[in-house]
Amino acid sequence: MDQRLADLLQQFSLERLEVNLFRGESRDIGSPQVFGGQVLGQALMAAYSTVADERVVHSLHAYFLRRGDFNRPIVYQVDRSRDGGSFSSRRVIAIQHGEQIFTFSASFQEPEEGFEHQVDMPDVPPPESLADSTRPPADVLEALPEKVRRFMLLERPFELRRVEPIDVLQPRQSAPLQNVWLRAVDRLPDDDRLHRSLLAYVSDYNLLATATLPHAVGAMDVNLVTASLDHAMWFHRPFRVDDWLLYSMDSPSAGGARGFTRGSVFSRDGRLVASTAQEGLIRLVAKRPA
């Protein structure tokens, strides 16, 4: 297996400390704090570890309370709220340095048949016709501030291909919409729990950035502060994250130093497999004197 993906799976192999207590490793991905997707995915894996095998997650809701320290592991405390005839509910608290950094709730269901409908997938070019946009070209990287360049250069366990190109150096005002094809860089085990947890991880890629597109700000603006505040996700149909998935995102509103974003995840054959929603901090701080 590709080493980037193997390292990610290591993060998702949580250590059980007690019946409902787990510990997960953290990684530095070049951001000032632990990547929100890491905490989302690990919390889901912790909750899954207390649920009957036949039940699958269908929704999760989370709040980011404090910055995570990527130099330290994270402890996940699971509360087994309810196990009913068809559904199980779990609450998870993530703890670092004796403080809550993240709260999470999820619901799991035994698969059953029911009504079926969905919206259509956007009409976009296939991933094979698009350039790899996991990182900017070499000439753009050279022009980026060192902190941003370090973030961009770190190896990623997912490959990205943008439908709508962006100019990292000179952002232009555009509609708050973006479509990104994504997939894991190598083949993964046939484990539905793992694929759902990894989609939770990668669902934090690019989502909040959608709310900045109408305002012509980006990586070059050192006065821009962004951070995820909450994250919600619904799983509709089975999928694999090592097959191409289209992440279609939009931002209906921004205000009060917060941006609201939504996402729809489609499989290659057009099935809507998941939906996301997130609100995040988008703040322009006062410029510091030279």
Catalytic residues: 204, 228, 278
Q: List helix spans (H) across the chain.
A: 3-11, 36-48, 138-143, 146-153, 192-202
Tokens encoding 85: 């005839």
Furthest C-alpha separation in the chain: 63
C-alpha 196 chain-centroid distance = 11
Query: Among 34, 37, 50, which Cα is nearest to 92's?
Result: 50
Separation in Å, CA 131 to CA 70, 153, 177, 269: 31, 17, 19, 20
- Smallest CA-to-CA distance from 275 within 35, 40, 59 is with 59
Strand, coil or helix: 287: coil
